[in-house]
Amino acid sequence: MIDDFDEPRDIDCLTAVRRLWDHLDGTLDAPAADEVERHLRTCEACSSHYAFARLVLEAIADAAPARPAAQELDALRTRVLDALAVEGFRARR
C-alpha cells in the first residue's frame, strides 16, 4: 500500500489565500507551506496576492523605526539623567 499522506495535495485558491499571511510569517507547518508554494507556482491570480502581501510586509518593515541597541539605550538614559541632574532633578530608584 502506498502512503500518499506525504505528497503535497493541490489546494484551491481560497485555501491558498487564507494561508498566505501565515505562510509569509513562516508559521505554517511544512506540508501546508509546500501546498501553498506549489499553488503559487501554478496560479497567476494567487501569485499576484502573494506579491502584494510581500510588498505590504516590506513597506511595513521599511517604515518601522530601527530599534536602538541596548548599549545605545543605556547611553541615552545616562545622558538624560545627567541633564536632569544638572537641572536639579533626581532619578527615583
Tens-place pLDDT, residues 37-91: 999 999 999 999 999 999 999 998 888 777 778 888 889 889 988 888 888 887 6
Alpha-carbon span 64 to 78, nearest angstrom: 25
C-alpha cell at 44: 497567476
Domain ranges of the chain: 13-86
Q: Give the gyration radius of the chain's Cα atoms.
A: 24
Which of 12, 6, 82, 83 lies closest to 46, judged by CA?
12
Provide the terminal-to-terminal Cα distance of the chain, rounded to the nearest Å.
Answer: 71
pTM to 2 decimals?
0.59
